[in-house]
Structure formats: C-alpha cells, structure tokens
Amino acid sequence: MSEAIAVTDAVRVPGWALTLRAVRASGPGGQNVNKVATKVELRVNLDAIEGLSDSARTRLQALARHRLDAAGRLVVTSQATRNQASNIEDARDKVRGLVAAALVRPRARVASRAPAAAGERRLDVKRRRATLKRWRTHPLRDE
C-alpha cells in the first residue's frame, strides 16, 4: 500500500487506491536498462479519490481519457530518471497535477460579435479587389 497523495486540503488520493509497478525502462542506458526496473507505472482508481465534486470528477475523466486502462483506472508512467524512487515521485506529481487541473472550473465563454465596422471594411476590401481584377481583363472580351 502506497502513501496517500494530497492534492489540496480537501482532495486526496488514498493510498489503497494506488497500484505501483516497476518495469524495465526503454531507451538508452547500456546494460543497466536490461537489468534494473526503474520505470514506474502508477495506476489510480478514479472513483476512490476523496473530496472531488461530480463536475471535477467528470473533468478529470475527460482530461485522463487517453490514459485510462480497461478497468477505468488512470495509468501514469515515469521513466525520467535512472532512479526508481525519483520516478515514483515524478509519477505521483503527475497524478497530483492532473487532479489539480480537474479542480479548476473552466471559464464560461462570453459570446461576442464582430463590430459592424469590421464587416464594412471586409466588404470594402472585396469591392476594391473586384474592381482591380475587372481592370485587368482584356477590354475587347467584355463586349
């Protein structure tokens, strides 16, 4: 059982909702990469996060939709360093950041209209281009 992840005073991910697995990292590292399992895979049961409102839970599922496994758990991996302990802390930080991002309510979009003068300018430019192109045509073809 892992230690709980505190996002805010009210929101936390309990330790029992976390599943930690160490796997071999990919990429360069010589013989070390073949021997030591430093890459960390952290799975989080999203339903177990405490203090999350329904709207924040919905935002979290939308943010994490590409990181969900078949069971609906959030999967976060880290292989930033060659040290397993550092990668565990990095994965926990990623989870903390994702949950914190879900807590932020998006600003409501304020509908706006383009000014009437902008529409007039656009039409004026179109008229000028049309006149310019009309002047480029061969004079005998117009008849």
Residue 143, pLDDT > 60, answer no
Angle between helices 84-103 and 54-63 (to 10 degrees): 130
Are 48 and 71 contacting, i.e. CB atoms less than 8 angstroms apart? no
CATH number for the domain including 24?
A: 3.30.160.20
The verdict on residue 10 lying in a domain is yes
The verdict on residue 26 lying in a domain is yes
The verdict on residue 84 lying in a domain is yes
pLDDT tens readout for residues 64-78: 999 999 998 999 999
pLDDT tens readout for residues 74-123: 999 998 888 889 999 999 999 999 999 999 999 999 999 999 999 999 99
User: Over the chain, what is the mean pLDDT?
Assistant: 88
Domain with 48, as residue range(s), is 5-103
